[in-house]
Chain A
Amino acid sequence: MRLFLSVLLVTLALCCYEANAIVCPDIAKDFEGFLWEDKTAFELSLQKYRAPPENVQAVLDVKTCIDNISAEGRSQLVAILGHGGHRVEDETRGELR
Protein backbone atom coordinates (compact mmCIF):
# COMPACT_ATOMS: atom_id res chain seq x y z
CA MET A 1 0.00 0.00 0.00
CA ARG A 2 2.79 2.42 0.91
CA LEU A 3 4.59 1.62 -2.32
CA PHE A 4 1.41 2.20 -4.29
CA LEU A 5 0.83 5.58 -2.66
CA SER A 6 4.41 6.62 -3.23
CA VAL A 7 4.30 5.67 -6.89
CA LEU A 8 0.95 7.42 -7.25
CA LEU A 9 2.27 10.66 -5.75
CA VAL A 10 5.42 10.65 -7.87
CA THR A 11 3.44 9.93 -11.01
CA LEU A 12 1.00 12.72 -10.23
CA ALA A 13 3.86 15.11 -9.68
CA LEU A 14 5.57 14.18 -12.92
CA CYS A 15 2.59 13.93 -15.18
CA CYS A 16 0.51 16.83 -13.98
CA TYR A 17 3.26 19.37 -13.43
CA GLU A 18 3.10 22.08 -16.05
CA ALA A 19 6.81 22.76 -16.34
CA ASN A 20 6.30 25.04 -19.31
CA ALA A 21 3.80 25.93 -21.95
CA ILE A 22 4.77 23.52 -24.68
CA VAL A 23 1.84 23.59 -27.03
CA CYS A 24 0.78 20.36 -28.67
CA PRO A 25 2.47 20.70 -32.10
CA ASP A 26 -0.68 19.86 -34.04
CA ILE A 27 -2.64 22.53 -32.19
CA ALA A 28 0.08 25.10 -32.82
CA LYS A 29 0.18 24.20 -36.49
CA ASP A 30 -3.59 24.42 -36.83
CA PHE A 31 -3.74 27.76 -35.01
CA GLU A 32 -1.19 29.12 -37.44
CA GLY A 33 -3.15 27.62 -40.30
CA PHE A 34 -6.26 29.39 -39.01
CA LEU A 35 -4.40 32.66 -39.33
CA TRP A 36 -2.28 32.04 -42.41
CA GLU A 37 -3.44 29.20 -44.55
CA ASP A 38 -5.69 29.33 -47.57
CA LYS A 39 -9.23 28.41 -46.50
CA THR A 40 -9.43 25.29 -48.65
CA ALA A 41 -6.09 23.93 -47.46
CA PHE A 42 -6.97 24.75 -43.86
CA GLU A 43 -10.29 22.93 -44.13
CA LEU A 44 -8.42 19.88 -45.39
CA SER A 45 -6.04 20.02 -42.44
CA LEU A 46 -9.00 19.95 -40.04
CA GLN A 47 -10.27 16.70 -41.50
CA LYS A 48 -7.93 14.70 -39.30
CA TYR A 49 -10.06 15.58 -36.28
CA ARG A 50 -13.16 14.02 -37.86
CA ALA A 51 -15.28 16.71 -36.25
CA PRO A 52 -18.95 17.30 -37.05
CA PRO A 53 -19.35 19.51 -40.14
CA GLU A 54 -21.04 22.29 -38.18
CA ASN A 55 -18.04 22.57 -35.86
CA VAL A 56 -15.62 22.80 -38.78
CA GLN A 57 -17.86 25.29 -40.56
CA ALA A 58 -17.93 27.52 -37.49
CA VAL A 59 -14.14 27.75 -37.58
CA LEU A 60 -14.21 28.49 -41.29
CA ASP A 61 -16.86 31.18 -40.81
CA VAL A 62 -14.67 33.00 -38.33
CA LYS A 63 -11.67 32.49 -40.58
CA THR A 64 -13.47 34.38 -43.33
CA CYS A 65 -13.33 37.44 -41.09
CA ILE A 66 -9.81 36.77 -39.83
CA ASP A 67 -8.59 36.59 -43.44
CA ASN A 68 -9.59 40.26 -43.80
CA ILE A 69 -6.96 41.26 -41.24
CA SER A 70 -3.77 42.42 -42.93
CA ALA A 71 -0.88 40.00 -43.29
CA GLU A 72 1.12 42.12 -40.88
CA GLY A 73 -1.69 41.98 -38.36
CA ARG A 74 -1.99 38.21 -38.61
CA SER A 75 1.77 37.96 -38.22
CA GLN A 76 1.45 39.94 -35.00
CA LEU A 77 -1.27 37.59 -33.77
CA VAL A 78 1.02 34.60 -34.34
CA ALA A 79 3.80 36.40 -32.47
CA ILE A 80 1.47 37.29 -29.59
CA LEU A 81 0.44 33.67 -29.14
CA GLY A 82 4.08 32.62 -29.31
CA HIS A 83 5.17 35.23 -26.77
CA GLY A 84 2.39 34.15 -24.48
CA GLY A 85 3.77 30.66 -24.35
CA HIS A 86 7.26 31.86 -23.53
CA ARG A 87 5.93 34.39 -21.07
CA VAL A 88 4.37 31.58 -19.04
CA GLU A 89 7.79 29.98 -18.87
CA ASP A 90 9.39 33.16 -17.59
CA GLU A 91 6.77 34.22 -15.10
CA THR A 92 6.49 32.60 -11.73
CA ARG A 93 3.52 30.39 -12.44
CA GLY A 94 2.52 33.00 -15.12
CA GLU A 95 -0.39 35.00 -13.78
CA LEU A 96 -1.11 37.24 -16.72
CA ARG A 97 -4.31 38.74 -15.35
Chain B
Amino acid sequence: MKLLTVLVLAALPLYCSAGSGCSFLEEVVSKTINPKVSIPEYQHFLEPVASTPEEQEVLADAKECFLNQSNETLTNFEKMMQIMYSSNFCVLH
Protein backbone atom coordinates (compact mmCIF):
# COMPACT_ATOMS: atom_id res chain seq x y z
CA MET B 1 0.00 0.00 0.00
CA LYS B 2 2.78 2.40 0.92
CA LEU B 3 4.64 1.47 -2.23
CA LEU B 4 1.52 2.12 -4.29
CA THR B 5 1.09 5.53 -2.68
CA VAL B 6 4.68 6.47 -3.44
CA LEU B 7 4.40 5.30 -7.04
CA VAL B 8 1.16 7.20 -7.64
CA LEU B 9 2.56 10.37 -6.11
CA ALA B 10 5.64 10.09 -8.25
CA ALA B 11 3.69 9.48 -11.45
CA LEU B 12 1.00 12.10 -11.10
CA PRO B 13 3.13 15.26 -11.39
CA LEU B 14 4.89 13.89 -14.44
CA TYR B 15 1.59 12.99 -16.08
CA CYS B 16 -0.09 16.24 -15.24
CA SER B 17 2.78 18.44 -16.30
CA ALA B 18 3.32 16.85 -19.68
CA GLY B 19 2.45 19.21 -22.48
CA SER B 20 3.22 22.74 -23.47
CA GLY B 21 1.79 24.08 -20.22
CA CYS B 22 -0.78 26.11 -22.11
CA SER B 23 -3.87 24.44 -23.49
CA PHE B 24 -4.79 27.62 -25.40
CA LEU B 25 -1.51 27.56 -27.25
CA GLU B 26 -1.95 23.89 -28.07
CA GLU B 27 -5.42 24.59 -29.38
CA VAL B 28 -4.15 27.44 -31.53
CA VAL B 29 -1.46 25.20 -32.97
CA SER B 30 -4.01 22.47 -33.59
CA LYS B 31 -6.33 24.80 -35.50
CA THR B 32 -3.38 26.27 -37.36
CA ILE B 33 -2.33 22.86 -38.64
CA ASN B 34 -5.81 21.41 -39.25
CA PRO B 35 -6.60 21.71 -42.98
CA LYS B 36 -10.32 21.46 -42.22
CA VAL B 37 -10.19 24.77 -40.37
CA SER B 38 -10.71 27.52 -42.91
CA ILE B 39 -9.12 30.95 -42.79
CA PRO B 40 -12.38 32.65 -41.70
CA GLU B 41 -12.89 30.04 -38.97
CA TYR B 42 -9.32 30.52 -37.82
CA GLN B 43 -9.66 34.27 -37.73
CA HIS B 44 -12.94 34.02 -35.83
CA PHE B 45 -11.42 31.67 -33.26
CA LEU B 46 -8.59 34.11 -32.58
CA GLU B 47 -10.68 37.25 -32.74
CA PRO B 48 -10.72 37.68 -28.92
CA VAL B 49 -6.95 38.12 -29.03
CA ALA B 50 -6.54 39.48 -32.58
CA SER B 51 -9.34 41.84 -33.51
CA THR B 52 -7.75 44.58 -35.62
CA PRO B 53 -7.83 44.28 -39.43
CA GLU B 54 -4.03 44.08 -39.48
CA GLU B 55 -3.99 41.23 -36.97
CA GLN B 56 -6.73 39.38 -38.81
CA GLU B 57 -4.81 39.76 -42.06
CA VAL B 58 -1.60 38.38 -40.61
CA LEU B 59 -3.55 35.44 -39.19
CA ALA B 60 -4.87 34.76 -42.69
CA ASP B 61 -1.31 34.89 -44.07
CA ALA B 62 -0.04 32.47 -41.44
CA LYS B 63 -2.95 30.07 -41.87
CA GLU B 64 -2.49 30.14 -45.61
CA CYS B 65 1.09 28.96 -45.17
CA PHE B 66 -0.28 25.81 -43.56
CA LEU B 67 -3.16 25.33 -45.97
CA ASN B 68 -0.66 25.33 -48.83
CA GLN B 69 1.19 22.35 -47.38
CA SER B 70 0.65 18.73 -48.30
CA ASN B 71 -1.17 16.43 -45.88
CA GLU B 72 2.12 14.63 -45.34
CA THR B 73 3.86 17.83 -44.29
CA LEU B 74 1.01 18.75 -41.95
CA THR B 75 1.07 15.28 -40.39
CA ASN B 76 4.81 15.53 -39.83
CA PHE B 77 4.42 19.04 -38.43
CA GLU B 78 1.81 17.77 -35.97
CA LYS B 79 4.13 14.92 -34.95
CA MET B 80 6.89 17.44 -34.30
CA MET B 81 4.56 19.40 -32.02
CA GLN B 82 3.77 16.26 -30.03
CA ILE B 83 7.45 15.49 -29.70
CA MET B 84 8.09 18.97 -28.40
CA TYR B 85 5.17 18.89 -25.94
CA SER B 86 6.21 15.53 -24.54
CA SER B 87 9.93 16.24 -24.47
CA ASN B 88 11.90 16.33 -21.23
CA PHE B 89 12.19 20.09 -21.69
CA CYS B 90 8.46 20.42 -21.06
CA VAL B 91 7.63 17.37 -18.95
CA LEU B 92 9.84 18.74 -16.20
CA HIS B 93 8.36 22.28 -16.54
Contact = CB atoms under 8 A, between A and B. Distances in A.
Interface of A: 1, 4, 7-8, 11-12, 15-16, 18, 21-27, 30-31, 46, 48-49, 51-52, 54-59, 61-62, 65-66, 69, 73-74, 76-77, 80-81, 83-85, 87-88, 94, 96-97
A56 B21 CA distance: 22
Interface size class of B (residues with CB under 8 A): 35 or more
Q: Which of B4, B66, B80 has the most CB of A within 10 A?
A: B80
Interface in B3-19: 4-5, 8-9, 12-13, 15-17, 19
Contacts, number: 148
Contacts of B55: 76, 80
